[in-house]
Each structure stands twice: as structure tokens, then as C-alpha cells.
Amino acid sequence: MKIIKSLVYTLACSSALVAGTHWGYTGHEGPQHWGDLSPKFGMCKQGKSQSPINISKEVTVATEGLKEIKFNYTTRATEIINNGHTIQINVKDGSSIEIDGKTFDLKQFHFHTPSENQIESKNFPLEAHFVHADKDGTLAVVALMYEDGEDNKVLKKLWSRMPHKAGESNRCIMPAEMFATMMPKDKAYYRFNGSLTTPPCSEGVRWMVLKNYSHVSKAQTEEFLHLFHHANNRPVQPINARKVMK
């Protein structure tokens, strides 16, 4: 399923997806109500391949043909945005991943606390989503979990630049070399078909959740959480007939 190109730049929760329709993570605009807020959000309650999910032994299958993700992150980050739902870092054109014989260009990455996806029913304090799109607008997301540990130097740089008011942005000159330090050396992953984790919850998204983690200090997680005053994660969704490849 192809996702229209306009979704590429707004996966990280911009309410501009549907003009005039407000959504959030708490109260009457929270995830359990998204499907009722607008007809355009119908997939949030009707979809059968929704994200995030709990990756458990019961749903994973070993797949010999699961090829490695070829990362080609060569360009810098240019802008950091507070869109009212998350902190999003936009990336200059030229970085990409290759999977399934296709090239997916890196558009942006953003964060959720606690993690949206779970592994064996465990939530992590922070999860990053690296959002890519091919030439037709089809999306591929690489998810990186963060576990409790020492201060993360890359996050320290990003957090120092993140705007504290919704709708604001700052310049964020993050060199391509820094992207390599964000990722674990072993990039083994789980793979499944899913959706956007924010309205309109469109399906047809390739999800790749890395099996190895980075680290974040509790103080850094709390700083991010304090920015929005509440968690910004969608609860896990039914797996239905899907299997997770590993």
C-alpha cells in the first residue's frame, strides 16, 4: 500500500495532517478516541495492521531471507522542531537506507517516551523513529530503543536545541558522522508490516525494530517528558494475523 508523500513529513504527529482536527495523548483527544475524531482517522480503529505492537516469542518467526539494512547516512540534520506532540529533527536530502532492493530516503527522526513498541511486553524509557520514504512515498521506519544508563551525548546536544514551545523550531547542525554514533554496531532487527502510530494511522508501513539498544539517562528522559507534561506513546495494538520476522 502506498502512502501519499505528504505523510512523509508529518509522521511525527503534525496536526496539519487533517486541518482543524486536534488530537493528543490524553483525555477526549487521546489514542482510544482517535478513530472517532475525524472520518479521516477511521483507520485508527478499523485497521488490522496497526502500530505499535508487542514483539513477543509467540509472534516472531525465524526468516533465513531477512537481509541486513544497508544504511547510507551521509547528510546532516538541519532543523529541530517542537510540533506539540514530539521533537522532530529534519535531515538534509541525501541520506538513505536500502531494503527489499529499494532505496528509502531518510526524511526525519523523532522520539516517544515511553517506547511505543514493546519487546516481550517491556516498555523502554525512550524510542526513536527514523522515518524514510521511497520515490513513491511508501514509508519505512527504523525504530531504536533506549534503555536506562548514562547521559547520552547525542541526545544532550539535541535536547540543548529543542524548542520548548509548540510550533517553534531551531537550527540543528548535526553532522552525518553523529548519526553513526546513534546506532548500535549490530543492526539486527525485527520486521513487521504496520502503520503510522499517529493519526491518520495509515497502514502499509515497513517497520524495522532494532534488537540492540542505545542508552539514555533518567534525567534526559524526564527532561523530554517535562517538555510535553505527559507521555507521547500510542498503546500497543492487536497483532491479529501478522507475524514478526527475525
SS3 206: strand
Q: Which residues are designated catalytic?
A: 85
**What pTM, to 2 d.p., does this model score?**
0.91
pLDDT-derived band at 132, boundaries 50, 70, 90? very high
Axis-axis angle for helices 218-228, 153-161 (nearest 10)? 20
pLDDT score at 173? 86
Task: Enumerate residues 6+ apart whose C-beta is below 8 A from 59.
Answer: 53, 239, 242, 243, 244
* Cell matching residue 165: 514551545
Q: Are 129 and 11 in contact (CB under 8 A)?
A: yes
pLDDT tens, 189-217?
A: 999 999 999 999 999 999 999 999 999 99
Instruction: Enumerate the domain spans of the chain.
Output: 5-245
Rounded mean pLDDT of 165-187?
Answer: 92
Q: Does domain 5-245 have CATH number 3.10.200.10?
A: yes
The residue behind cell 520548548 is 164
Q: Which of 179, 6, 146, 214 is nearest to 78 (CA)?
A: 179
CB 227 within 8 A of CB 164: yes
| Interior angle at CA 117, CA 170 and CA 154, nearest 5 | 35
Residue with cell 541526545: 155
Q: How far apart are CA 141 and CA 132, in angstroms?
A: 6
